[in-house]
Structure 1
Amino acid sequence: MENRSAMNITTLGGYQLTPESVTVPILFLIIFILGLIGNATLLYIVVRHQDMRNTPNWYLVNLAIGDLLLICTYVPFAATIYTVHSWPFGESICKLGNFMRVLSVSVSVLTLAWLSEERYATAVQSNTYKIINSTKMTIGKILSVWLIAVIFGILNAISANIQDYTTNDGVNVSFCLPFQDSWGEGYASAYTIVSFLILFALPLIVIALFYIRLAYFIATKYKRTLDIQELQGQYMDIGSSDEAEHKLKHDEHTTNENQRFAFVEEGTSPWLILCLVILFVMCWLPRHIYLLWFYLDPSPYNIYWHGFKIAGFCLMFLNSCVNPCALCLLDSRWRKYFKQHLCCIRG
């Protein structure tokens, strides 16, 4: 919980029973169950089925591991924020929860960035990329994700702390806060801006550039196909020499080979990955907007921002269970295996 809202609670005289006291814990329970089952099943599918062990799916495994860590180590404790008067779990759990929250978002956005790069390179530079993109390189990229995530997580864990307040009714309450008051408002503001840039804005800009270039590549190949079809019509109208026919067949063969993208062979469309990116943005953008307002705008905390904070808080955790659902809905191979293992449906 943030410092300003905590102070407002003490001024008002502590917690009162509100609609979110019931609805938020129930929603968190649903997120916990769906996220645990969905992500664990995703991991099992990749480990169990050899045809699902490919480079893009290892990145999806990385996403699932990050989501599982958040779901298992923070969601159960975060739900109590809306049900009890005071943080009951002590400083260690407070630091662990803040560490895992930042770790999860870092793993998610950085993995999506590497995954977008991999899908783009596989499509545009299929043969060359397969040669240079070894297993060691994939492992190195994944390790770089965790290194950056752990660094930001540790910074957040160090600053997280328990602060005690006394309400107007004389009740002592404790809050798990992300920043220490003694560090000053400058640190909280700087950390919020840096984390927004490195763990949200910049990776999304990189992802957008990859997809813009991919769209341009596909459009160029499509135009080339139309040009070849036009040449075919011209040759059929005027007759063609053996040399012209040979050139036409060579160009058509080259185009067909270039259009036979490797991501189709591996079964993970870049547009499916784009859907995961969009879901990530939808789930995390409200939270970032709230934090930027909270630490950079001096305007008072009010009922509007209170509701916005709760919505962003819930969406943030919802992101940890949406990826398996999206894969099941949008990809036939994933859907087949999810049905097989969750519903005992063969075939």
Structure 2
Amino acid sequence: MIVGVTGNGTLVYIVLRNKLLRNVPNTLIVNLSIGDLLLLIFSVPYMAIVFGTKEYPFNAFFCKFNAYLQTLSLGVSIFTLTALSYDRYVAIVHPMSKHKGKPSLKIAIVVIVIWVASALIAISDAVSYTLVIQHGRPIFCHEVPYNDYGVSFLRVRNVIRLLILFIIPLFIIGCFYILMARILVKSSRQLPCEATFGQGMNTQQQRQIEARFKVAKVVLSFVVLFVICWLPRHIYVLWYAYDEEGFTEFWLIFKVVSICFMYAYSCVNPYALYFLSSQFRKYYNRYLFRCCIRSRYRTRDSTPALTNFNSTVRRGSTSMTMVKSNSEF
């Protein structure tokens, strides 16, 4: 909790404090961090106390609220990653369309939709989780009521949740990255005089193509971390719904490990950003570690950071014109 709150809190502060970083991708990254902060602040202490005591120490409200928060955070994470991947797809494949309309209004609508959709999906957990009471004392918080309807509901819900909050979004993200890879490879081959990447290009052209690759790489790293950290949890809940042999010691250990991985994901993104983005690393050093001299970072910084501008290459008959866009990601 300390590691995650520190990292995500610093990330949110960095973006809010510096106008240069207030763009569409960074807004989505802040949205991702806010969802992680909610889970870390409320759910981690709850689970630590539950697993550290012999008897269930809370009432029915906390039983339902914790389950609701976990699914809410999961929804915010995967939907935000999907939106980030779409943003990168548009920036690379259709860069000029990003500057049509009102970007601030569009991103506000996207963030609202992400939270509303996640909140609605999480309602099923708030409804189904039940506090089991024996002899007038709470024993444990169970996913569904103890009846035949509860078992059927658990199976259907877990399959639907796996599709909506894992498989379908990852499939969409994968499609975006396949399309991005195709256009990046194609653009590198269709430079003037049939130049290939690194040959026949000036420094500015190379820098723009490299920046596109590196920015997409940051988002892809978030997606990979999400799969690694959340896959064990999805495996467990699916097994728990369909297995009829009983709860063994192996699955108890697997459950605890999957929960730890789930919370680890809420901590790791800011630190992945620290290592992958030289610009964000400077801000982290400035605000968190206090080991860098305060300085102004301008849009002309040539580092492959999340504040670099993207450009669109327009092919003419004999030359190429670089069209700069606003600072983003």
Both proteins in one fold, TM over 0.5: yes
Name the counterpart of 2:165.
199
RMSD: 2.5
User: 2:24, 2:103 within 8 Å by CA — same for their partners in 1?
Assistant: no
Q: Equivalent of 2:22, from 32, 53, 77?
A: 53
- The alpha-carbon deviation at position 211 of structure 1 amounts to 0.5
Superposition pairs for residues 175-214 of structure 1, below 5 Å?
Answer: 175-182=140-147, 183-214=149-180
Once the two structures are superposed, the pairs formed by residues 64-143 of structure 1 within 5 Å of their partners are: 64-132=33-101, 134-143=103-112
Aligned to 1:260, the other structure's residue is in SS state helix
- Structure 1 or 2, whichever has the larger Rg, is 1
Alignment of 1:249-260 (within 5 A): 260=208
Q: CA-to-partner distance for each residue in 1:65-121, whole Å, 9 max, x for gaps?
A: 100111111110111222111111111111111111100000000000000000111
Shift of 1:122: 0.6
How high is the TM-score relative to the length of structure 1? 0.78
**Cα offsets for 1:207-246 (capped at 9, x unmatched):** 011001111111111222385238xx9xxxxxxxxxxxxx
Amino acid at match of 1:260: Q
Could you tell me how far apart the structure 2 residues matched to 1:336 and 1:178 are?
A: 44
Which residue number corresponds to residue 181 of structure 2? 215
- Please, what TM-score do these two structures have when normalized by structure 2? 0.82
Residue 163 of structure 2 aligns with an amino acid whose one-letter code is: L
Pairs aligned (count): 289
Report if the CA contact (8 A) 1:68-1:320 is conserved.
yes
Contact 1:85 1:173 in 2 (8 A): no
Aligned to 2:217: 271
Shift of 1:300: 2.5
Structural mapping, 1:265-304, within 5 Å: 269-304=215-250
In structure 2, how many angstroms separate the alpha carbons of the residues matched to 1:221 and 1:264? 14
- The answer to whether the 8 Å contact 1:56/1:268 transfers is no
**CA-to-aligned-CA distance 1:180-215 (integer Å, 9 cap, x gap):** 224421100011001110011100000011001111
Return 5+ residue gaps in structure 1 as ranges.
1-31, 234-248
Per residue, is there more helix in 1 or in 2? 1
Q: Does the aligned pair in 2 maintain the 1:162–1:176 contact within 8 Å?
A: yes
2:311 aligned with 1:333: no
The structure in which a higher percent of residues are strand is: 2
3-state SS of the aligned residue for 2:132?
A: strand
Structure 2 unaligned spans of 5+? 294-329
User: Which whole-Å deviations, capped at 9, do the CAs of 1:288-325 have from their partners, x for residues lacking one?
Assistant: 01111110222332222222111111101111100111
Change over 3 Å in CA distance of 1:184–1:51 after alignment to 2: same
Paired with 2:253 and 2:137, the residues of 1 have a C-alpha distance of 25
Q: Structure 2 vs 1, CA of residues 308 and 133 (structure 1 numbering), >3 Å: closer, same or farther?
A: farther
Contact 1:67 1:321 (8 Å CA) reproduced: yes
Cα deviation for residue 342 of structure 1 reads 1.0
Report the 3-state secondary structure (helix = DSSP H, G, I; strand = E; otherwise coil) of the residue aligned with 2:53.
coil
- 1:259-287, CA deviations, whole angstroms, 9 ceiling, x for partnerless residues? 836x948x970110100110011000000
Q: Which amino acid aligns with 1:105?
A: L
Paired with 1:111 and 1:277, the residues of 2 have a C-alpha distance of 10
Cα deviation for residue 143 of structure 1 reads 1.0
2:56·2:139 contact (CA, 8 Å) conserved in 1? yes
Counting aligned pairs with the same residue, the percent is 32
